[in-house]
Amino acid sequence: KNQVEQSPQSLIILEGKNCTLQCNYTVSPFSNLRWYKQDTGRGPVSLTIMTFSENTKSNGRYTATLDADTKQSSLHITASQLSDSASYICVVISNDYKLSFGAGTTVTVRA
């Protein structure tokens, strides 16, 4: 069964600090991995898309890494802002177009 596990479930950080979110998956055959930001009650918004051959990809203050050998990915948020408070969801897509979602990590940034 394809699974995507995210950790931590939630975290609280102070504005200006950095944090790293983890995503481990067992999806096979792997096509690509995506990180999404979802504000409460809103639809997810794409942050990064990473294919098998990509190790790192940045989008502003968001940097995602991928280790396809160990089937692990991380999302690093640099110099956090209050607007970063949201749920961050890891999505892994298999070659047969199936999406597997993690449960998300809820990030709360406090002033």
Partner 1 sequence: DAGVTQSPTHLIKTRGQQVTLRCSPKSGHDTVSWYQQALGQGPQFIFQYYEEEERQRGNFPDRFSGHQFPNYSSELNVNALLLGDSALYLCASSLDGLSSGNTIYFGEGSWLTVV
Using CB under 8 A as the binding rule, the residues of this chain from 18 to 37 that contact partner 1 are 31-32, 34, 36
User: Degrees (nearest 5) of the Cα angle 87, 103, 18?
Assistant: 40
Which CB, 40 or 83, lies closer to partner 1? 40
Task: Dump strand ranges (E) for 1-111.
Answer: 4-7, 10-14, 19-25, 30-38, 45-51, 56-59, 62-67, 72-77, 86-94, 99-101, 105-110
Considering the rule CB under 8 A, would residue 55 count as an interface residue with partner 1? Answer: no
Considering the rule CB under 8 A, would residue 77 count as an interface residue with partner 1? Answer: no
Instruction: Please select the residue that binds partner 1; options are 3, 7, 18, 46, rule is CB under 8 A.
Output: 46
Strand, coil or helix: 84? helix
Considering the rule CB under 8 A, would residue 59 count as an interface residue with partner 1? Answer: no
Residues that bind partner 1 (CB under 8 A): 4, 31-32, 34, 36, 41-46, 49, 51, 89, 93, 96-104
